[in-house]
Chain A
């Protein structure tokens, strides 16, 4: 079968032929018995495929589905609720927290001799040995 006719045939089966193409196809079908047979075969194939539909799931599909949804709802619902609550709580304190941080940073910047990460965030210049030495925090003046 030639490519052009083949294309026309598939277009016809798909219902997308225009009138000019339909005429060409009809002409070819009248004059070519092999082409006619090919078309018949394809129609049979389509019919076979269309009739093979297996429209049913196993029994109690909805019951099993609803059970699954109910089981996962408690778990999924809890996670969702937790995240939403957390987000809404943080949203409430977000603006005041930002303002407080800005005030502290500005104050630290204004009073610092040297501008550094430690001075901006008010981190005291302390090393590990000083931090664990009890003399530094147990000494009574």
Chain B
């Protein structure tokens, strides 16, 4: 019983308190607890790339610096996801500004070539397709379908009304379906 209690996981609140008292190991524990969740959101938003890794790091750096201000109103995972989505949206804006060649053309070429290849991985093609849809729809799809947040949680993270989340989800799915249909048909 004693051993079981000792091995029991510390709550997020306890860990935050420890970090505030100067315990860095506790912060590493928080990072380990949430990094996969954040990776899912960031990779969904930006694709698997160096920027995604940088954004992932920035999420935790920002959280560390604002630890004193974290009131614990929201679940920590939700709070970190919100930071991750906002930073990803900023990164997408920056990316748009610095794009020097047409990503769309590049993607189309890649998609058509890859769809003929049986060994091509599903996750890669879906990720590429996600990158092709508008960021506002992408954010909803990533949170709702990839991260499996409920509609209300998604609305809360994005600070949008539930109705808007639902309509963006429907439109996002439609767009995604349009992009992926050739690939899905090719697989039949």
Interface residues of A (CB under 8 A from B): 6-7, 10-11, 14, 16, 41-42, 44-46, 48-58, 61-62, 64-66, 68-69, 72, 76
Contact = CB atoms under 8 A, between A and B. Distances in A.
A62 B31 CA distance: 7
Contacts of B123: 51-54
Interface of B: 24, 27-28, 31-32, 35-37, 39-40, 43-44, 48, 52-53, 56-57, 60-61, 64-65, 122-123, 126-127, 130, 141, 144-148, 151, 166, 169-170, 173, 176-177, 180, 184
Contact of A42 (B32, B36, B53, B177): B177
Label chain A's interface by main secondary structure: helix
Given A50-B146, A68-B57, A57 B126 contact: no
A65 B39 contact: no
Contact of A54 (B24, B40, B170): B40
A15 to B, nearest CB: 8
12 contacts: A10-B169, A14-B144, A16-B166, A45-B184, A48-B122, A49-B130, A53-B40, A53-B123, A53-B146, A53-B147, A61-B35, A62-B28
